[in-house]
A and B are shown apart, each in its own frame.
Chain A
Amino acid sequence: MPAEDGNGSSATKSYADFQFQRFHLELTSENVRAEAVTCEDYEDVFGGIARGFKYLQGKAVDDAHDPEASLVMNLGLFSGTDFMTGLRTYFLAYSPLKRSRAGKPSAMWSAGSGKFGTKLRYLDVDEVIMTGRCAGPTIIHIHRSGEGSPPQFEFLDASDLVGLLINDKVQNLHKRFPDAHFAVIGPAGEHYEQVRYAAVGLSTENQLKSGDPKARYCGRGGMGGMLGSKNVLAIVADTPDRRGGKLHPQIKELNQEIARGEGSRRFRDAKKGNGGGGTWANYQALNPLRAMPEMNFVPTDGDLSVPLHRPNVEQGPYVIKDESCFRCGISCHKNVYDKNEEGKAGQFRAKLDYEPLNLLASNIGIFDIDQAMELVEQVDNLGMDSISCGTTLSYAMEYNRRNPDSMIADGLTYGDYAKTRDIIDQIGTGQLELLGQGTMRLSEQLNATGYAMHCKGVEFPAYLPQTNPGYPWAIAGGHMSMRTMFLLLLERETGLDYWVDAITSKGWMTLRDDFLGVCKFAGMTNDHMCTAISSLASIRLEVPELEHIVRRTFLRGIQLEHEVGFTDEDYDMPAEVHDEYPQIDLPHFNTVEFFTQLKQRVNGRIREMLVEEGLN
């Protein structure tokens, strides 16, 4: 966490009592400059997107891959601490994927867990700003020369890593740097000009111990391509683990709440305090209502996806284990293994979260779990974002269905597993820029945008846009930066006032954890987090003040969009989203008329909020 300025007392502190360590890496010259920055507000103390958005103001570029473009890598306040799920590393940039209609890259971030962020914390690296481009494929090796010495940044040749899959890179680096954890890109990131949704893989303890491809991913927005454009194939955070000290009693209590309390229950397994089964349970929740994407976000009115429901997969030759990130008691990872001869877990097959499973199976017409697992792992290991890849594939399949005389992507169709595998491989190795460019650019090129499921260039996650008119105001991934995707399902509200309020007053509250460095699955209340902030940093923050910081961070994100020329049109949804789909067993309310009024009111209210905050 940001260091105190040396006064060292245990009295309540203010932001001015803190500094953070920012390292500027000019990659062309391999110059490293360390800067101790006195915090000028709580955003600076907290880090993550709160500080990152401030940094990116005034640094827009015309080309995301321009060497002068800034790539920010930072931590949140709780990253690498004893606070359970405090594991997040953030990458922020003007994205190769997110874009205004006028063509300018737009700022966004991507976050990932694993243990890489913890190692950065142990190295006292709060933030790294990368500009320029390394001369050749490079590993940035962060380490100390001796105990207590400041972190050093070493630039090493990465020629032997070129072309390796994510897990192969990680395991290779693990042999060389046994104390380290890693941020790596796959072949997709290396081919950044042809793949706009390349991801960054962050290594996990489980991965290093087992050898299995169990990285965590900063998936959204093409941050893997940002590293690739700077010729950085891997970042190594190399330091032994710190010996654990005495846990603050309130942090211990909060950790117990995270592991067993109501906030994380939905993500735990059923045998752990009546957990909801994790995100995979969305299949059983949404599928019966036909409220789950199939065939490019148009649910079929049948039971095609039922074989992919977890209880049915459990009947097959598989063992499903709930595993976790480093020191996390939630265990939300649903890892599927082949069942061996003893009936126990044999070969690892895939980690099945809802979004990758849906978008790389049901949504592209694949209903066989074995095939689904192969595709999920293939996309992960090539280093691509599952959501963007899956949604772009489904768009291509839908285009081909409607245009049989002018098919693209070798005539790719729904359900063609073999061809899908081949196409994914082509995308991930830079051989199919047509699809590697993402849904927005592809649909514009084909002049067929009505069923291109994205907003602002960022493909929708696996929640129907027909039921979620909040998507356009997400400033990064659609469901992790604007929490409106379950509102219709759970609250059944279709009124304009309700949705304006949901978007402008509530939906952005989910951003809190994107600067505190914790996982959203912890489900902590704002009261909990104020207690944690007080325990960890001696900062006495009331809930309204914390909410205000979240709000200001959201508005900074919107302001960054406006700065690159976003207009009202950029907040439109794909036209066919507004059609009626009688098979969806939820109210049809997101009509053209409704959305037009909603957009007008929401954008108007946001403009007011920007003025109120002094950010216009």
Chain B
Amino acid sequence: MPTKLQIPPRLARYAAGQRSFELPASSIDELVRGLCDMHADLRARLVDDQGKLYSYLAVIFNEKQLSPAELNDLRLSDGDHVEIVTLASGG
């Protein structure tokens, strides 16, 4: 079973209205790359010129929020659940 990936609701419009995906990947970078290959409009909204997730996006891996350092070392397995969330909040 590939990795399950969910993106923030407001970005679904750049993925044909879809928020949830299942993609084969062994790392977060590969996962996000795969998603952006499927929906090119997401690329500019998820990653910078170096292909890294923007600072205002956080990754929840199997219900645990990862630090930027943990992101690099993470190896994904089938059935893992990854959620990309936005940190920016107002008020």
Contact = CB atoms under 8 A, between A and B. Distances in A.
Interface string A528-570: 0000000000000000000000000000000000000000000
A287 B87 CA distance: 12
Interface in B42-65: 44-45, 54-56, 58, 60, 63-65
A490 B54 CA distance: 10
A463 B65 contact: no
A430 interface: no
A287 B56 CA distance: 9
B88 interface: yes
Nearest to A463: B90
A162 interface: no
Contact of A277 (B54, B60, B63, B87): B87
A580 to B, nearest CB: 19
Interface in B12-51: 44-45
B54 A485 contact: no
B7 to A, nearest CB: 11
Interface string B77-91: 000000001111111
Interface stretch (A172-180, A262-270, A336-344): A262-270
Interface string A259-282: 000100111001000101111011
Contacts of B8: 490
A112 to B, nearest CB: 12
Interface string A350-385: 000111000000000000000000000000000000
A11 to B, nearest CB: 36
A483 interface: yes
A463 B91 CA distance: 11
A479 B91 contact: yes
Contacts of A282: 87-90
Contacts of A276: 58, 85-87, 89
Given A274-B65, A276-B85, A490-B45, A288 B55 contact: yes
A355 B60 CA distance: 26
B71 interface: no
Contacts of B55: 284-289
B11 A490 contact: yes
Contacts of B9: 262
Interface residues of B, number: 21
A512 to B, nearest CB: 14
Contact of B45 (A278, A286, A491): A491
Given A274-B65, A288-B55, A281 B11 contact: no
Max count, chain A CB within 10 A of own CB: residue among B65, B86, B88: B88
A492 interface: yes
A286 B55 CA distance: 7
Contacts of A274: 60, 63-65, 85
B72 to A, nearest CB: 16
Given A274-B60, A289-B55, A490-B11, A279 B89 contact: yes
A486 B90 contact: yes
A490 B64 CA distance: 23
A486 B87 CA distance: 11
Contacts of A265: 85
A266 B86 contact: yes
Contact of B88 (A270, A353, A486): A486
A281 B90 contact: no
Nearest to B49: A585
A521 interface: yes
B90 A489 contact: no
A490 B53 CA distance: 12
Interface string A433-452: 00000000000000000000
A480 interface: yes
A520 B56 contact: no
Nearest to B14: A491
A334 to B, nearest CB: 12
Nearest to B41: A492
A518 B69 CA distance: 38
Contacts of B11: 490-491
Nearest to A461: B90
Given A485-B90, A486-B86, A486-B88, 16 more contacts: A266-B89, A267-B91, A276-B58, A276-B85, A277-B87, A281-B87, A285-B56, A285-B86, A285-B87, A285-B88, A288-B55, A289-B54, A355-B91, A480-B91, A491-B11, A521-B91
Q: Which 8 A-B pairs have the closest CB atoms?
A: A285-B56, A266-B89, A288-B55, A285-B87, A285-B88, A281-B87, A479-B90, A276-B87
Interface of B: 8-11, 44-45, 54-56, 58, 60, 63-65, 85-91
Interface of A: 262, 265-267, 270, 274, 276-279, 281-282, 284-289, 353-355, 461, 463, 479-480, 483, 485-486, 489-492, 520-521
28 contacts: A262-B9, A266-B86, A266-B88, A267-B91, A274-B63, A274-B65, A276-B85, A276-B87, A278-B89, A285-B56, A289-B54, A289-B55, A289-B56, A353-B91, A355-B91, A463-B90, A480-B90, A480-B91, A486-B86, A486-B88, A490-B8, A490-B10, A490-B45, A490-B56, A490-B88, A491-B10, A491-B45, A521-B91
